[in-house]
Structure 1
Amino acid sequence: MRGLAICLAAALIAGATAAGALAADHRARATGDPTAFEGDGMWIWYVSKAKEGDPGRIAAQARRRGMETVFVKAGDGADTWRQFTPGLVARLHAKGINVCAWHYVYGSDPVGEARVSAEAASRGADCLVIDAESEYEGRYAQASTYVTELRRLVGPDYPIGLAAFPYVHYHPAFPYSVFLGPGAATFNLPQMYWRAIGDSVGKVFSITYTYNGVYGRPILPLGQLYSNPPRRQVLRFRRLAADYGAAGVSWWSWQHASRRGWRAASRRVGSGGVRRVAPYPELGEGAAGDLVVWAQEHLASGGYYGKAVTGRYRSSTTGAVAAFQTAAGLPRTGVLDSPTWTALLAALDPQPVSWRRRPTAPAHARGVPTAPGHARGLVHARTAAREPMRVPASARLPAREDELEPGRAR
């Protein structure tokens, strides 16, 4: 029995050592290269459907069409896709092609998903893209768990992007502020599929940049080559990307692109000569959603907002915005307009939040001092920054519409 116990103990120690080595290995090898997001890229869903899965032929076509980066699917939920291998990455690298992994996530197993993402990074990927869509709507706690675990495994500097819905205001419960917040993705690749959405290329750019710009991450437009879009639309997409100052453009997807689409996507076009700058969205009392969450987090970090972050723009948020406007020398309206957004984002960082599904007791109930001058029960912003917080009330709001699948309103 004693020998058995010794053996079991040794096995447990070996297992723990192996697990620790695996985590350390993720961090050691996941260096990445943020420049892989720059220039032109093509997304690959199934490697077997891209030049019969031959890395040499994939690289040859990518080079011929001016694609510096390929984005290859590496995982789905908590499952690793076997097609994303160190050998594939090495062979594409040898031909001068950057390789980014992309991973579709659901939120049902955020820790398992983070490990799959980190495994892709450890296999030599230059960057990672999180493909999060409708399954993550309302899942603030899961998103917080996922990005925290992912960053623990790959380190704080590994280049990560988010590919999500482009129309932020259609998805009030989607946790953009988590995926694009502190310690999370540092690049934003909105799925700007204009033909699927049913809007013009120009309108898609205007709306996407207006509503995504507040999150402060470089926007790298992801365009569509499926559904055989006209050449002129593909070229306009490229030109507007240059006009808005995008450092990179990528396309969905290799297996859907026609020859005409490939040629249009690879054609070099310059800017129209005018640098386009989208205004920030205007929010006022009655607004609700992740944009309000983002605003409240900024106001809280400066001590202007002392209540729980709810994602609902009510009188307390109006008062906080008005107080900030006074301090910033802006007209005191209580409305979060474009000039106020500009000043707020420049002056304050968002309050770091660790979202939890279960409520926590208010700070004053645990003996934590409240902010001077505030009514009893309002949590001091600096203290709240170190506390877990219940998911915002706006996380229960339904999506206005899935713009990528017209008619699938919720």
Structure 2
Amino acid sequence: MRALSGTISRRKLLAALGAGVAAAAIGRSGSADGAVQNKQRQNHLSWVWQFGEDGTPEHVRRVLSTFGVGILLKTHDGASWMSTFDQHERAIGGPRDIQSVARYFESAGVPFHAWCVVKGNDPIREAQMCAEVLSAGARSLTFDLEPPEGGHYWQAGPDEALEFGRELRRLQPNAWLSVAPDPRPWQVDVVPMAEFAAFSNEIAPQTYWDTFNSSANYRLLRDWGFEVGGDGVTPELILDVTNSALGSFGRPIRPVGQGTAHTDAWRRFVGHGKSIGMDAVSVWRFGRTTPDVWPLLSEMRPNQIQPPSANQPRDERDDDEDDKEQENRRSSGPGDTPQPAEKQTTTQSVTKSSGPKGKEDEPEKTSEKKGAGRLTDTSANEGKEWRWDGEMRSR
């Protein structure tokens, strides 16, 4: 693997400075270094998109509790709670739902963490919602930070990223925050990664080796200085790419693995991650994970300390009031919840599929979604057809 060459981009410059420019813009009280630590054991985590798609809360809790894995549950998309898109009775419609779900998982020994898609259209409101998630009981919050696809994912620029981070750190100075980018360097370059790293404690790159195993990615990886061998994009290669593209930001890295991959690949993924300092991992996503992956994660547990759990669920004395308000809200409809923007097509040929009302308006963050990313060259699709049902998925 040769060193990356070419002109110095904004990402490389800010990374080389330790994101100091962005951190100064946020302010000392809003930096990631102020987070409170504790000495609990760190857990591997499993991402959950929707209970209706991934499994009931009862099933998810039973599996994760059995194998000592924490949950990463999606709570909102931009400035919209998940109940806007998900018709399941336990879908998140606000902080009181988060309190209830957090208590449910924590009571069985399953650490409760949350994730969301950040857009930047209304950075102050998005930061306030993130702060509410943390106050309601999430041990940490992970931001899915990806280049725009129509009206989905990050829609703004570095200034909005700093505004978002400044407000969130003002509201939650000690929270544990993680940012989840696509680690391929040409994707890192088109999102405000340096700005997010300045106020995040951790990076959780989407290291989907099977999804990235295409001729278009081989070509681009070689163009960026990486050697692609006869086995193509392997767990080891994508972790090495990740280390090169994101290591200079100075944050711990917890890679996200491809749940549909076979167990041998997962053993290599976790093992190589440990060998280069990535002790804990997460899996995308619960409903598509190969069953044998769970006992493997239990066997290959991380050794580092766990992120802080300063934000704990509220006292149960308010349960009756919470349940009553939740029932009233569900019977009255979505109220003033903002509606998501109309979908737009991307460079791939896509069509919208049918589904429950509202569900088709939210993009599923999925490992099957991406080819080479932001390519006009259709060779990334390898001749597959694509359809749109909140994600790009080969059929």
Q: Report the TM range for the smaller structure's normalisation.
A: 0.5 to 0.7
Closer, same or farther: CA 249–214 of 1 in aligned 2, 3 Å: same
Pick aligned residue for 1:193 from 180, 190, 208:
208
Question: Within 5 Å, which residues of 2 pair with 1:55-74?
Answer: 57-67=59-69, 69-74=70-75
In the TM superposition, what is the alpha-carbon distance from 1:162 to its structure 2 partner? 0.4
Compute the TM-score of the two structures, normalised by the length of structure 1. Answer: 0.54
Partner Cα distance (1:233, 1:170) in 2: 24
Question: Within 5 Å, which residues of 2 pair with 1:81-92?
Answer: 81-82=82-83, 83-84=91-92, 85-92=98-105
Q: Secondary structure at the residue paired with 1:232?
A: helix
RMSD value over aligned CA atoms? 2.7
Pick aligned residue for 1:105 from 118, 130, 136:
118
Pick aligned residue for 2:106 from 93, 97, 108:
93
The residue aligned with 1:249 is 281
Compute the TM-score of the two structures, normalised by the length of structure 2. Answer: 0.56
The residue aligned with 2:43 is 39
The residue aligned with 2:128 is 115
Partner Cα distance (1:115, 1:77) in 2: 11
The residue aligned with 2:178 is 161
Closer, same or farther: CA 270–149 of 1 in aligned 2, 3 Å: closer
Does structure 2 retain, via aligned residues, the 8 Å contact 1:167–1:403? no
Pick aligned residue for 2:239 from 180, 205, 227:
205
The residue aligned with 1:80 is 81
Partner Cα distance (1:153, 1:130) in 2: 16
Closer, same or farther: CA 407–127 of 1 in aligned 2, 3 Å: closer
Q: Secondary structure at the residue paired with 2:76?
A: strand
Kindly indicate whether residue 113 of structure 2 is the aligned counterpart of residue 147 of structure 1: no
Partner Cα distance (1:107, 1:265) in 2: 34
In the TM superposition, what is the alpha-carbon distance from 1:157 to its structure 2 partner? 1.6
**Corresponding residue pairs, total:** 242
Query: Per residue, is there more helix in 1 or in 2?
Result: 1
Larger Rg: 1
- Could you tell me which amino acid in structure 2 is paired with residue 406 of structure 1? A
Does structure 1 retain, via aligned residues, the 8 Å contact 2:263–2:290? no
In the TM superposition, what is the alpha-carbon distance from 1:210 to its structure 2 partner? 1.2
Closer, same or farther: CA 36–253 of 1 in aligned 2, 3 Å: farther
Q: Secondary structure at the residue paired with 2:281?
A: strand
- Structure 1 runs (4+) deviating above 6 angstroms are 31-37
Partner Cα distance (2:190, 2:41) in 1: 27
Partner Cα distance (2:164, 2:284) in 1: 25
Structure 1, gaps ≥5 residues long: 1-30, 272-401
Question: Within 5 Å, which residues of 2 pair with 1:260-339?
Answer: 260-268=292-300
Partner Cα distance (1:71, 1:268) in 2: 19
Q: Secondary structure at the residue paired with 2:74?
A: strand
Q: Secondary structure at the residue paired with 2:273?
A: helix
How high is the sequence identity, in percent, across the aligned residues?
24
